[in-house]
Structure 1
Amino acid sequence: MKRNKTIIWITIILLVIVAFLYYTSSSGTFSSKEKDFAVQDTATVTKIFLADKDNNTILLERDSTGTWQLNNTYKARQSGVNLLLETLKNLVPKYPVPENAHNRIVSLMASQSVKVEVYQQVYRVHLSDNLEFFPHEKRTKTFYVGTATADNMGTFMLKEGADVPFVVHLLGLRGFVGPRFSTEEANWRDHTIFKTKLFNIESVTMEM
């Protein structure tokens, strides 16, 4: 009786090991770079470039004062930039596009997607967090943002150079993130008409 129980337990353990090895081998077929969409340190982001298939482009650049500029012409809307940076930081891949849907999604993204390039200040020499030398700007991320999934709970994304798109979602959001990568200039412009501190205003006059 004890012998039978031992055989049963050994069989169960072997099945668990086989299942574990199968899972890890199948999930490991994708390199970390293929699903690495998030930008961990958004404080070092210096520039974000967006481009769609209709040749609409958005260039967001942080100037020396920390203010974001739009297309080398306008001041960018800070709340919009903050939302984009937050989005970039919290992108999480859920799963790769299934093989039976691969060609359809890739074709769809070829005609309906936004190219995203992220540039950051990095150091050529990094000894520790307090010992870094020779800073320079480097493009650290390039990926494509496609349409929403059928249930609107994820977004198709593809890393540059990767073969398989992923369904990506945003931590804390029930929905898709495509609109946050808008290529409409009006969505990024700062709409402030008049800006000053209240205590600097001595009087206000209105004329009809």
Structure 2
Amino acid sequence: MKSKNTLLLVVLLVLVGAAAYFFTNKGSEKSTLNSKETAFTVTDTASVDKIFIAAKTGASNTLTRQKNGRWLLNDKYEARQDKINSLLATMHRMEVKRPADKASRNLAIRDFATLGKKVEVYQHGELSKVFYVGQTTDDNLGTYFIMEGSENPYVLHIPGFNGFINTRFDIAEANWRSVPVFRSNAQSIQELNIEYVGDPKATLNIKQNNDQYAIAGLKETDQENVKAYLDNYAFINGQYFLPNPQNRVSDSLAISKPAAIITLTDSNPEKSRTIKLYPKTEDYLIALNEKKKEVMSVQTYVFNRLLIRKEGLGKN
């Protein structure tokens, strides 16, 4: 009797242990995967300070976080913050969906060799992981990834997102570039002149002298309103740069008649610029920075905050 009870106890312990193992690992496909081969997710994106993306064509982009929190593209351009945020969120949220099946594995590996993008992620100044981003799955609900040094590709996705994620690892430099038009504030602006072509009486000219602002043609200036208005110039962006092969577009615009010309003189000469505005559609304008030969598409509602009449800045 005693031996029977002992046997039953052993069987019971085995069953409890098996049940515990089953429920602990149930639904956890990742527990059977190689952790080094599947460590694609970046859990701490706040520590990411550099991302390198390269294509087999030789094109590449290096994104570097600056001390002020903004990102620099290829050590020369301001990077678009919205695309940076999207990329970091993607690397944080993406998960392994499954290993590549036998039918697609060889095709995925072949695509890595020809169409893949290499991604290097740096955290705290050190290289933390290197992986390759491939093509999408047949159902367009996943993207093939492979870790450097591995022979096994995996399908990654973002839970709750029905789409592919390889486009987030963009290789086109133009798509990563921010389109800065103005980066000045009220304290640094020495003079601002807005010429409304065809309406010279509407010209707005503001000059600063020891933090006091004078507007040509107005007896009294509302200082607080002027400062609030000039602070609009602290962060004015365009939408995107328009193609300008051999400067043909910028040269053609330079000899055309604009709707308005904004000339800003900053205490920092690098922030001083002249922007010519040309009608495009009801919602968009073309902006020309003639000095830099840059042609940009800008939104009308953004520039409507700048294109005001001087009477609005005077005292009632």
Q: TM-score, normalised by structure 1?
A: 0.76
Answer yes or no: is 1:181 the counterpart of 2:184. Answer: no
Answer yes or no: is 1:157 the counterpart of 2:145. Answer: yes
C-alpha distance in 1 between matches for 2:122 and 2:83: 18
Secondary structure of residue in 1 paired with 2:52: strand
Work out which of the two has the higher radius of gyration on C-alpha atoms and give 1 or 2.
2
Partner of 1:206 in structure 2?
196
Amino acid at match of 1:85: L
Answer yes or no: is 1:31 the counterpart of 2:21. Answer: no
Secondary structure of residue in 1 paired with 2:36: helix
Deviation of 1:203 (Å): 6.5
Deviation of 1:184 (Å): 0.5
Deviation of 1:189 (Å): 0.5
C-alpha distance in 2 between matches for 1:202 and 1:111: 52
- C-alpha distance 96-187 of structure 1, shift in aligned 2 (>3 A): same
Identity %, equivalent residues? 37
Deviation of 1:139 (Å): 0.7
- 2:118–2:130: 8 Å Cα contact kept in structure 1? yes
- C-alpha distance 27-185 of structure 1, shift in aligned 2 (>3 A): closer
Secondary structure of residue in 2 paired with 1:193: strand
Deviation of 1:196 (Å): 4.0
State the Cα deviation string for residues 107-145 of structure 1 (Å, max 9, x = none).
121111110000001xxxxxxxxxxxxxxx211111111
- C-alpha distance 23-78 of structure 1, shift in aligned 2 (>3 A): closer
C-alpha distance in 1 between matches for 2:34 and 2:44: 21
Deviation of 1:173 (Å): 1.6
Answer yes or no: is 1:119 the counterpart of 2:139. Answer: no
C-alpha distance in 1 between matches for 2:149 and 2:156: 17
State the Cα deviation string for residues 35-80 of structure 1 (Å, max 9, x = none).
1111011111010000001000000001222221010111111111
Partner of 2:181 in structure 1?
193
Deviation of 1:206 (Å): 2.4
Partner of 2:110 in structure 1?
107
- Name the Cα RMSD after superposition: 2.9
C-alpha distance in 2 between matches for 1:27 and 1:72: 38
C-alpha distance in 2 between matches for 1:184 and 1:139: 23
Specify every segment of 5 or more residues in structure 2 that has no aligned partner in the other structure, as ranges: 1-11, 198-256, 258-316
State the Cα deviation string for residues 87-116 of structure 1 (Å, max 9, x = none).
111111000001232212111211111100
Would you say how many aligned residue pairs link Structure 1 and Structure 2? Answer: 180
Deviation of 1:27 (Å): 6.2
C-alpha distance in 2 between matches for 1:111 and 1:202: 52
Answer yes or no: is 1:144 the counterpart of 2:147. Answer: no
- C-alpha distance 160-94 of structure 1, shift in aligned 2 (>3 A): same
- 2:108–2:135: 8 Å Cα contact kept in structure 1? no
Deviation of 1:23 (Å): 8.1
Amino acid at match of 1:111: T
Q: Which range moved further: 197-206 or 159-168?
A: 197-206
| Match for residue 65 of structure 1 among 57, 64, 68 | 68
C-alpha distance in 1 between matches for 2:176 and 2:83: 6
Higher-RCO chain (CA-CA 8 Å, sequence separation at least 6): 1
Mapping of residues 92-103 of structure 1, within 5 Å: 92-103=95-106
Amino acid at match of 1:206: Y
Secondary structure of residue in 2 paired with 1:33: coil
